[in-house]
Structure 1
Amino acid sequence: MAPGGVKVIRRNGKVTGFDQSKIAIALTKAFLAVEGGQAAASARVRETVQALTAQVVAALTRHLSGGGTVHIEDIQDQVELALMRAGEHKVARSYVIYRAARASERAAEAAKSEAQLPAGPAINVKFDDGSLHALDVARIQRVVTEAADGLTGISVEEVVSSALRDLYDGIPEAELSQAVTLAARARIEKEPNYTYVSARLLMDGLRHEALKFLRMSETRPTFEEMKAIYPDYFREYIHRAIELELLDPKLALFDLDTLGKALLADRDAKFDYLGLQTLYDRYFIHSNKTRFELPQAFFMRVAMGLAMNEIDRETRAIEFYTLLSSFDFMSSTPTLFNSGTPRPQLSSCYLTQVPDDLHGIFGAIHDNAMLSKFAGGLGNDWTPVRGMGGWIKGTNGKSNGVVPFLKVANDTCVAVNQGGKRKGALCAYLETWHRDIEEFLELRKNTGDDRRRTHDMNTANWVPDLFMKRVMEDGPWTLFSPDETPDLHELVGEAFEKKYVEYEKLAEEGRLKNTKRIQALGLWRKMLSMLFETGHPWITFKDPCNLRSPQQHVGVVHSSNLCTEITLNTKANQEIAVCNLGSVNLPAHITAEGKLDKAKLERTITTAMRMLDNVIEYNYYSVPTARNSNLRHRPVGLGVMGFNDALYKLRLPYESDRAISFADYSMEAISYYALKASADLAIERGAYSSFKGSLWDQGILPIDSIRLVAEARGDRYLQQDTQASGAFDWDSLRTQIKTSGIRNSNTMAIAPTATIANITGVSQSIEPTYQNLYVKSNLSGEFTVVNEYLVNDLKALDLWDEVMAHDLKYYDGSVQKIDRVPEELKAIYKCAFEIDPKRLVDAGSRRQKWIDQAQSLNLYMAQPSGKKLDELYKHAWLSGLKTTYYLRTMGATHTEKTTITDTRLNKVGNATTSGTAAKAVAAPVPVDTTDYSATDVGSAKVCSILDPDCEACQ
């Protein structure tokens, strides 16, 4: 049903209520015109009309939940599109012809009577105070003209005339602003620059909302007029937010006049529509849903929080603000949410270990709830909990294993939804030798006992190297319960292998009771089968995470985090690992000549590392063990985003050798400058307290620690490049770190960056482009996304036109089947599912050698088979990756178009918007687990790539 308050503007300007039954009638008449009288009685037609009506209503009213208007022409456009998407081409053609005929009739009638018609009624606008004022067309023209400033391909007249068409007498002021914004937004897919126009028009409404709340202006200042108002607004905003207990009173101690004058109002024009709408919906400070925080105040508020403990607070706040507002670097979502607020929980990730006792288990679940409440993503290590059938001394009974507790953790995660800003998010890890591993693999299945299913949280395998060796050699594998083998989880490399073999002998002798012998290859096949069918558990590798950990002298990495990029030590009841994230905008550091701007990159990273280090003291810790751990080790995670955009600027196809070399070189640069910045901070502030004995203390940097994995595995099982470019003085940096220490135990991790990449308008993380034209869904709604680089290249060749836009839609955003597109562009603009997934691993391997933590590496496979999955994940292990993330698969029958309006358009396959891969897949088509001879699977699998409920996309 349409939301209440939605009205329809007729062609004569009259406004009527929205009646979806009229849409159903129009659709039925269209079928009758083609199929005759029997169509009305057809069950197929009735069901089709019902479904199409729902699609049309959803498309028209998706952004009108609070009321608004739609034009009759827009309704008919959506009916036409719905018929086309449903494959009802004859009916659609008849409908188009009918519309054209009626339009001609109306034009003829208008021409006859034009001389006799009186002037149309004047349009009045209802202001917020209820008063009526004549529509100020000149202001609309001025605002749209300002919004189009500096942009090509924009027709101000077209936007204004389209907006005026949708107005009616007595239209509320807020609806007027929305109508102008939507008029521009509707044109994004034809001209990407309209996304910036839409954002700037959206800003017009945001300025009015904020200034009205602060009682600062009775008028609506334009973009240019706001420049003079920003400093005074900023001062009022800070004081009012403190008064409402939304910001920390300490912010009032800053020199607000100095900070206000430092605001760069022009940077409000940098946003695209998706970025600004996302900030408005989820990040800006609000009171009773009224947002009164504008973009530059938002960035300064974050910067002030991060500079709170600096000696020269104003200077540092301006430095941090300037970096954030430039989009050259962006802090993580929790930092943006909470910096400067009364509870500044700024950390992104928490890793916990669950102990093997009832108090400890529920204590860990309580910690999950408290950490999740303030926007932390969680990774839980469940391996210490005894397996099913394990003896319980206190009751002389048998354990039900890990799974029932995982169900409780899952439901807690759902219940604590981070204040409505985003859903609670958790990933549970289990080591591959655990007695319950087989049931753990099935947690996300749709079938079976639902009490032993976790449909909402993520799961991941924690895989030791010995298991992979047994898989390669088709050897046996023994499952143990950790209450009988408590030290296995604490051991890695040769020590783990030696102890594991000892336990196998004890099991053979009957001295261990709760064990099971299986074939390693059989378990591996089931792991891949479940990964394909449900998207989980992800595959992460225990030994490289530990053998390359700088902190192996003080503890063990027992799991990764929510998104598989954090690899920090944990210890039950003592240490909850915490990581603070932020990402460098890589394309912002590519020069016009197509080179990496190393000088700018060094400046960006030097400031960014200081900001990340500042989080540690300033951070609010809802759990004491998290605070203790963070202050002791001081880990941070500097990452990168916009990698594919950087390749576009360099004119490099993603799977080319040169692109993989760039992944290597750019990550070496980031690694060098991050370590140098942390080492310089150590000179200024002191090394982190557990530095002595670390790999850093021994002069072993990330590039050096690869040999530790090679020594443990043997060269046969490691194929990772260890070359450096020669462009950086690594020897001097090693000497400095050994001599003066380093400020942070860990410095780098590549996170998914989905939302902050949206804010800055670049491609996510290290991801290949999903599609060159699609509609993106997230918690802020649906947004047309067009690859600007592709469009600009096509414009330069005079190939961008309405036909090309249509072809991109038809081919799901792919250019590979469009004959007019040159082969060079086809290579550069391959989409994610058109790239060899092994090349994604190759690029990841090159990055991994420079990173002291890990990376969120999604893998894409268009037509998966058991053999392909087997080869891909073995290649990932052999290439030295520490972790992998989502497996995105798409079957051969995938045909959905990017313009479908029922939210299926962005789904990888038959996904729903449930937010869980277990619910988001079609009925499973099993991977062939006998000979890996399967070819095309035939139907799409795994969760939506852009599911609005999926934490990876937030």
Structure 2
Amino acid sequence: MRRVIAKEEWTMVDPFEVRTKLGIELAELWGEKFECAYQEIEANLEKTLTLYKKINARELFKTMMRSQVETGMPYLWFKDTSNRANPNSHEGYIPGGNLCQESWSNVSPGKEAHTCNLNSLNLANLEDGELAEFCVIAVRLLDNTIELTCPPFEDSKTHNLKYRTIGVGAMGLADWLAKNKRYYRDLDTISHLFEDIGYYCTKTSMELAKERGEYPAFAGSSWSEGKLIGAKPVEWFLENAHSKERWQQLSLDIQKYGIRNSHITAIAPNTSSSLVQGCTASILPCYSRFFYDKWAKGTVPIAPPFIRDSFWFYPENKTLNQQTVVKAVATIQKWIDTGISMELIFNLNQGVYFPDEPERSIKAKEIFETLVMAWQEGCKAIYYIRTVQRDSFKEADETCTACAN
């Protein structure tokens, strides 16, 4: 990404030639080791390697971005960011994310396959004083799932028992904020909420280790060294948490008793399940305060649950500057040890993001800056890129959305 920002070149190489002539398996490396290997490869162009092509990194990124705007894909997964937060780097590395870009861990082809063991807290239904209990139930439920279910093939079973990876997520953040008369840009409130979720879920996994034992790969992990969520040292939590002392004690308890699950939190997209639960999807703003969801069996009217009493506290994602979403997701990511399915919606109509310039629409440069910002802010992945196409958005002049109140 640094070369993308600097408009420098990427070197495209043949991995087989690199493997056979230089003994480098580039796909298995990340961070500083990747950079050193990449520089060695570039130093051997024309000397040892003959199959290569240089291409402007930003132009290639623009090609990917154009495909994202047109089709929603490819997804972006930031390998270095994700592996820096890997508590099990002593056992291997994380090669990529799952389909929805929120759950991943070490894998070993033919031996260990990552399995998604996920659930979500419905924040819309959360009342004061219930969060700790909800987190305990969610973690215990998923740990029990590993014991009670039969994975579809042996590699999955081996991975489940070795790492006991789970992912407690959340849906209905937009509803929780609206119910509490808070705005989506209130990053301190969001941070405090997900700090609590991260703490309660991690503590529950530690308590489970007391009862049932630590996960088999615990020894040598960042957890065993006293590091906490995202393999961050306890000093980070003492500096950034709003309830500092509890993190210090949790670090000591994990070193003493172990932890039951190597990964504990991950936020799925919940686009369909949130409809069943009667809340907004995942941790994103509501798409619209009112819209019709069309699918194979009919059309369903959709409105957030607290729209009557908290109308103005529901920003509409279809008109919201997506850098606001990136900042919120980056804030939440600090307290989530795996990933977050972050969908971005860009409205291509004129005047949406620029009320003082009614003829201006979003430019490719501004979409590019938003994607780069996601990497810079520490987001681990970008899931679907969605667009509101031109002319399919405008309503009649006499329409007043406030009348829905």
TM-score by length of 2: 0.88
| Aligned residue number for residue 391 of structure 2 | 893
Greater relative CO, 1 or 2 (CA 8 Å, sep 6+): 2
CA–CA distance in 1 between the matches of 2:46 and 2:321? 44
- Correspondence for 1:299: none
What is the Cα deviation at residue 513 of structure 1?
3.0
CA distance in 2, matches of 1:561, 1:745: 17
- Cα contact 1:547–1:705 (8 A) shared by 2: no
| 1:683 corresponding residue in structure 2 | 210
Counterpart mapping for 1:151-162 below 5 A? none
Residue 473 in 1 paired to residue 6 in 2? yes
How far did 1:727 drift? Answer: 5.9
Percent sequence identity is 33
Report the alpha carbon displacement of residue 538 of structure 1 after superposing the two structures with TM. Answer: 1.4
Tell me if structure 1 keeps the 8 A contact 2:226–2:233: no
State whether residues 753 and 764 of structure 1, in contact with CA within 8 Å, keep that contact through their aligned partners in structure 2. yes
Partner of 1:723: 240
Aligned partners of 2:111 and 2:140: how far apart in 1?
A: 27
2: CA distance, partners of 1:740 / 1:585: 30
**Match of residue 308, structure 2, among 777, 786, 791:** 791
Q: Equivalent residue for 1:672?
A: 199
Partner of 1:190: none
Do the aligned residues in 2 keep the contact of 1:706 with 1:849 (CA within 8 Å)? no
Query: Take 2:335 and 2:28, find their aligned partners in 1: how far apart are those partners?
Result: 25
Is it true that 1:573 corresponds to 2:58 in the alignment?
no
Please say if residues 837 and 861 of structure 1, whose CA atoms lie closer than 8 Å, have aligned partners that are also in contact. Answer: yes
Say which of 877, 892, 898 aligns to 2:375: 877
Alpha-carbon distance, 1:703 to partner: 5.7
Shift in Å at residue 526 of structure 1?
1.2
- After superposition, residues 104-115 of structure 1 pair within 5 angstroms as none
Q: What is the CA-CA distance between 1:695 and the residue it aligns to? A: 0.9
What SS does structure 2 have at the residue aligned with 1:767?
A: coil
Q: Kindly provide the amino acid, as one letter, of the partner of residue 504 in structure 1.
A: E
Number of aligned residue pairs: 376
Q: Which residue number in structure 1 is paired with residue 93 of structure 2?
A: 556
The answer (yes or no) to whether the contact 2:87–2:231 under 8 Å persists in 1 is no
Amino acid in the other structure paired with 2:65: L
Deviation per CA, 1:602-640: give whole Å up to 9, x if none. 111112211100111211222111111111110000000
Which residue identity does 1:888 align to in structure 2?
Answer: R
Trace 1:435-474 onto structure 2 (pairs within 5 A).
468-474=1-7
Distance 1:473 1:738, change over 3 A: same
Which of 142, 157, 161 matches 1:631? 161
Match of 1:772 among 289, 300, 305: 289
Cα drift, residue 668 of structure 1:
0.5
Runs of 4+ displaced beyond 3 Å: 778-781, 895-898
Secondary structure of the corresponding residue to residue 790 of structure 1: coil
Which residue number in structure 1 is paired with residue 172 of structure 2?
642
Contact map agreement 1:548 1:706 (CA 8 A) in 2: no
Which amino acid is 1:876 matched to? Answer: A
- Structure with higher Rg: it is 1
Aligned with 1:537 (options 74, 77, 85): 74
Name whichever of 665-674 and 726-735 sits farther off: 726-735
Task: Call closer, same or farther: CA 1:625–1:725 in 2, change over 3 Å.
Answer: same
Structure 1 match to 2:232:
705
User: Structure 1 residues 753, 706: CA separation in 2 closer, same or farther (over 3 Å shift)?
Assistant: farther
Residues 114-153 of structure 1 mapped to structure 2, 5 A cutoff: none
Q: Give the match for residue 31 of structure 2.
A: 493
| Alignment counterpart, residue 321 of structure 2, candidates 836, 843, 848 | 836
Match among 332, 354, 368 for residue 847 of structure 1: 332
Residue 758 in structure 1 maps to residue 243 in structure 2: no
Whole-Å separation in 2 of the counterparts to 1:728 and 1:675: 15
CA contact (8 A) 2:285 2:314 kept: no
- Note the alpha carbon deviations across 1:10-44, whole angstroms, 9 max, x for none: xxxxxxxxxxxxxxxxxxxxxxxxxxxxxxxxxxx
Unaligned runs of 5+ in 1: 1-467, 591-596, 711-721, 794-824, 899-954
Query: Aligned-pair distance for 1:780?
Result: 4.9
Q: Which amino acid aligns with 2:111?
A: Q
TM-score, L = length of structure 1? 0.38
Letter in 1 for 2:197: I
Q: Which amino acid aligns with 1:865?
A: K
- Contact 1:492–1:547 under 8 Å retained in 2: no
Question: Once the 2 structures are TM-superposed, how far is the Cα of residue 788 of structure 1 from its aligned partner?
Answer: 4.0
One-letter code of the match for 1:835?
A: L
SS in structure 2 of the partner of residue 507 of structure 1: coil
Partner deviation per Cα, 1:874-914 (whole Å, 9 max, x = no partner): 1001001111111121234224779xxxxxxxxxxxxxxxx
Instruction: Give 1:728 deviation, angstroms.
Output: 5.9
Letter in 2 for 1:674: C
User: Paired residue for 1:116?
Assistant: none
Q: Give the alignment of 1:58-457 within 5 angstroms.
A: none
| Matched position secondary structure for 2:381 | coil
The one-letter amino acid paired with 2:118 is L
Structure 2 CA distance for partners of 1:675 and 1:893, relative to 1, 3 Å: same
Greater helix percent: which structure?
1
Q: Give the counterpart of 1:603 among 123, 133, 139.
A: 133
- Counterpart contact for 2:87–2:230, Cα < 8 Å: no
In 1: Cα distance, 2:51 partner to 2:305 partner: 59
